[in-house]
């Protein structure tokens, strides 16, 4: 089998990335990269907006993944402090922090220079603010947007709070660098740290001003405007992100503000550590956002919009996600009675698993309140298709399951237990309750996984020593699935 074409493809990327172009922005020059594959997946390019103190060099591997997905990618270096502000509208200066405004203007100037009518934007961290503001200035330039680890959705913030969380995240990156055995991962972390230190050392005042700007911007109003303009919006957020915590985001936004929401295992800069996985998800989300515009299921959408008002869970998980996250197949769920904890408001797993004879009961904390539950029931009854599969929705908490002993053959919990339970006692109670309602010989599957290597140490950190001790004493086997990394608890048959 010949390899030359792949080599040409590879060299083409390296050559293009090395050829930075200088564009005129606000009276100054800023370098940009414009990477074009030989065959385009779509005529609409991706505009990548990097996070605070980051450069295209930090996102080089991410850009390469999109390039290999046959997407054209544009990215811009940081704007300089000495560029003029004269081209920026005075009203905008009064509304938004000047540092973020300068970055947003530079992004739009890049599109103008390249004569690009529309883009699919992909933004990380501060880049989310930059893209949101660029949209506010010129919304016609945007087709779809994917926000990764977004600020501005967690409610009111402060500079000192944000600085503290960034510092904590930075220390976690350094710790990960020291402990990692993966040379490529260490190289990526080193690049992030080096670029951040270089940027802060070179522009200390600018760094502080940008951080202040990030803490002040809330982008929810822009989300409403994006919907009105027909721009597809999706979010990728890490459950371990301490900079912009997911629990705060869930309290501050509702699912109907997005066309897609993906919760993933990882910290704030995980996109840089694992670009292959993240950019594959971005590529798929962009495809799905386009499909959603042409195929709208109006009745289901309207019912779900109302149900989402009383739901606290935003994730959107289907059967394929469960197969991947838990390393299971159709035969594992066929004709089983299953409890799915923290199902997500659309409960796709429940619907799709029923095709294989599975009875899935979905535990949703948002239905605990009786008034909320009655409202949800009324909305469900308006749509016959939803009624068929959502009638097994049950309000409750994992720590107090409203089911009889040994009711289920399998229990699944993806991004729920133990991730949204703060206390060790709460986690312990949830596991005990899960084992109470699980039948002998059944399994509980918990995702995402705990990471590769040091299995016992990881499990103890996730669940606590007391929980692990109790499981052993009660004839329950706790292990890690080697393929998916998910946690498997098997309740052994009673002797």
pLDDT given for residue 142 in this prediction: 95
Query: In terms of residue numbers, what domain contains 8?
Result: 4-296
Statement to judge: residues 96 and 232 lie in one domain: yes
Q: Is residue 413 part of a domain?
A: yes
Please say which residue of 263, 296, 329 terminates a domain.
Answer: 296
What are the angstrom distances between the C-alpha of 9 and each of 14, 15, 36, 63, 108? 9, 10, 11, 14, 29
Write down which residue in 296, 331, 353 finishes a domain. 296
Q: What is the pLDDT of residue 34?
A: 93
- Tokens coding 436: 């109470």
Q: Let me know whether 78 and 205 are in one domain.
A: yes
307 located within any domain: no
- Residue 137: which CATH number? 3.40.50.1820
Helices (H), 369-476: 370-381, 384-390, 424-437, 455-463, 465-473
CATH number for position 327:
3.40.50.150
Cβ proximity of 450 and 480 under 8 Å: yes
Closest alpha carbon to 483 in 429, 445, 426, 457: 445
Regarding whether 336 and 232 lie in a shared domain, the answer is no
Full pLDDT tens readout for the chain, 495 residues? 344 344 444 558 888 998 888 887 666 778 889 999 989 999 999 999 887 666 788 888 899 999 999 999 999 886 554 455 666 777 777 777 777 788 888 899 899 989 999 999 999 888 888 898 899 889 999 999 999 888 877 667 666 666 677 666 767 666 666 666 777 767 766 666 666 666 666 666 656 666 555 555 667 777 888 887 888 898 888 877 777 777 777 777 776 778 888 877 777 777 877 888 888 889 999 998 887 765 544 433 443 344 344 333 344 567 787 888 888 888 889 889 999 887 765 677 887 888 888 888 888 765 555 444 444 444 443 334 433 444 567 777 888 888 888 889 999 988 777 666 667 788 888 899 999 999 999 999 988 755 444 455 567 777 778 888 899 899 899 888 877 778 899 998 654
pLDDT at residue 291 in the model = 79
Final residue of a domain: which of 296, 331, 356?
A: 296
pLDDT attached to residue 387: 39
Q: Cα–Cα distance between 146 and 124 in angstroms, integer?
A: 9
Q: How many domains does the chain have?
A: 2
């Amino acid at each position: 089998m010949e390899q030359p074409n792949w080599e040409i493809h590879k060299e083409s990327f390296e050559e293009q990335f090395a050829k930075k172009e200088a564009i005129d922005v606000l009276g100054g020059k800023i370098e940009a990269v414009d990477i074009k594959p030989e065959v385009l997946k779509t005529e609409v390019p991706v505009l990548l907006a990097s996070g605070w103190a980051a450069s295209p060099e930090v996102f080089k591997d991410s850009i390469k993944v999109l390039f290999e997905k046959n997407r054209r990618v544009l990215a811009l270096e940081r704007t300089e402090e000495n560029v003029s502000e004269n081209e920026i509208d005075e009203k905008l200066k009064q509304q938004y922090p000047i540092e973020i405004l300068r970055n947003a203007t530079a992004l739009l100037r890049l599109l103008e220079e390249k004569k690009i009518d529309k883009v699919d934007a992909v933004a990380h961290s501060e880049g989310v603010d930059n893209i949101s503001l660029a949209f506010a200035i010129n919304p016609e330039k945007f087709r779809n947007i994917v926000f990764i680890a977004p600020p501005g959705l967690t409610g009111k913030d402060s500079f000192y709070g944000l600085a503290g969380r960034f510092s904590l995240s930075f220390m976690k990156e350094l710790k990960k660098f020291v402990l990692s055995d993966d040379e490529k991962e260490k190289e990526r972390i080193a690049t992030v740290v080096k670029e951040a230190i270089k940027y802060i050392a070179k522009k200390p005042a600018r760094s502080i001003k940008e951080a202040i700007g990030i803490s002040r911007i809330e982008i929810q109003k822009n989300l409403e405007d994006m919907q009105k303009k027909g721009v597809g919006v999706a979010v990728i957020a890490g459950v371990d992100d301490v900079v912009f915590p997911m629990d705060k985001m869930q309290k501050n936004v509702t699912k109907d503000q997005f066309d897609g929401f993906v919760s993933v295992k990882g910290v704030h800069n995980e996109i840089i550590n694992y670009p292959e996985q993240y950019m594959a998800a971005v590529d798929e989300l962009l495809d799905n956002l386009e499909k959603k515009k042409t195929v709208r299921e109006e009745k289901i959408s309207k019912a779900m919009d109302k149900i989402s008002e009383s739901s606290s869970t935003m994730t959107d998980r289907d059967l394929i996600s469960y197969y991947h996250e838990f390393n299971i197949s159709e035969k594992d769920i066929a004709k089983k009675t299953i409890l799915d904890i923290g199902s997500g408001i659309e409960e796709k797993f429940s619907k799709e698993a029923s095709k294989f004879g599975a009875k899935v009961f979905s535990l949703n904390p948002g239905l605990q309140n009786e008034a909320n539950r009655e409202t949800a029931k009324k909305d469900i009854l308006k749509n016959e298709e939803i009624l068929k599969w959502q009638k097994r929705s049950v309000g409750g908490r994992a720590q107090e399951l409203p089911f009889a002993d040994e009711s289920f053959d399998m229990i699944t919990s993806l991004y729920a237990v133990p991730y949204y339970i703060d206390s060790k006692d709460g986690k312990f109670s949830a596991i005990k309750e899960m084992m109470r309602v699980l039948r002998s010989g059944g399994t509980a599957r918990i995702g995402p996984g705990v990471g590769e290597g040091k299995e016992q140490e990881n499990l103890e950190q996730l669940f606590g020593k007391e929980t692990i001790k109790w499981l052993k004493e009660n004839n329950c086997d706790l292990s890690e699935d080697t393929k998916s990394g998910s946690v498997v608890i098997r309740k052994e048959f009673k002797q």
